[in-house]
Structure 1
């Protein structure tokens, strides 16, 4: 089965993949919003999504390490890695202690901060083109870039909020 969804929140995407597994669909492949699924036993798999530290890291070592822990690397899209583990092997949580969760969400927040700066720059360039030319097409792209910028800003805020929650939990 092929499904199209656009996620910009990895937690929501993980929840959706888990629901698909509970409905008997195992995630197999991702490309530009297209998810491929195969039939499986309901609830057979749990999923996590990880963000690699950098693009040039040794992906083979990462995959080998994951396999040693009973986790299968399903797919990778740029720096995002989709991981699967049999539900019968127990709970699946990549980051279990508060400090590693804080580090993980800081990494995601910083990743999206860079994307936000790029989108805001593009927004202002497009906005200036709209003002100078008066063409509606530039205005439509300006609105689109503004919406993308707001979506990315929401991710940054959500990560910041989660980090603050974990810090409070750590201090308790």
Structure 2
């Protein structure tokens, strides 16, 4: 089965992949919003998405390490790695403490900030060209670039909100 979805939130994407597994569909491949699934027993797998520090490292070492933990590397798209584990083997959570989750969200923020700056520069250049020329097509591209920049900004805000929630939880747990 082929499905198309755009996710900007790795947590929501993980929930959706688990829901697909509960419906009897195992995630197989990903590319630019297209997900390929194959039939499986309902609820057979739990999924996690990891974000690598860089995409040039030794991927075979990472995959071997995950395999030793009973985790299968399903696919990788740039720095995003899709992982699954048999549900029968118990719960599957890559980052279990607040500090490691905070670090993960900081990595994601830093990654997206680069693209946010690039998109903002492109947006203002396109906006300037559209205003100067009055060209309708340039105006359409300006709107598209603005929408992309807002989507990226939303990712940064969501991750920052999650960091703040984790810090708040950590502080309140530590005060008892």
TM-score (norm 2): 0.96
Alpha-carbon distance in structure 2 between the residues aligned to 1:141 and 1:110: 26
Segments ≥4 residues shifted beyond 6 Å: none
Structure 1 CA distance for aligned equivalents of residues 57 and 143 of structure 2: 36
Listed one character per residue, the Cα deviations across residues 125-171 of structure 1 (whole Å, up to 9, x for unaligned) are 11111012111111001001111111111110111111111111111
Match of 2:112 in 1: 112
Offset at residue 75 of structure 1 (A): 0.3
Give the secondary structure class of the aligned counterpart of 1:154: helix
Structure 2: which 5+ runs fail to align?
none
In structure 2, how many angstroms separate the alpha carbons of the residues matched to 1:115 and 1:41?
A: 39
Q: CA RMSD in A?
A: 0.8
Deviation, 1:10, is 0.9
TM (normalized to structure 1)? 0.98
Number of the residue aligned with 2:166: 166
Task: Tell whether 2:99 aligns with 1:88.
Answer: no
Q: Quote the Cα distance in structure 1 between the aligned partners of 2:27 and 2:34.
A: 11
Gaps of 5+ in 1: none
Report how many residues are paired. 172
> In the alignment, what sits opposite 1:7?
7
- 1:34-82 deviation per Cα after TM superposition (whole angstroms, max 9, x unaligned): 1100000001001111110012111111111100001000000011100
Give the Cα–Cα distance (whole angstroms) in 2 for the partners of residues 71 and 111 of structure 1.
25
Alpha-carbon distance in structure 1 between the residues aligned to 2:3 and 2:142: 29
CA offset at residue 7 of structure 1? Answer: 1.2
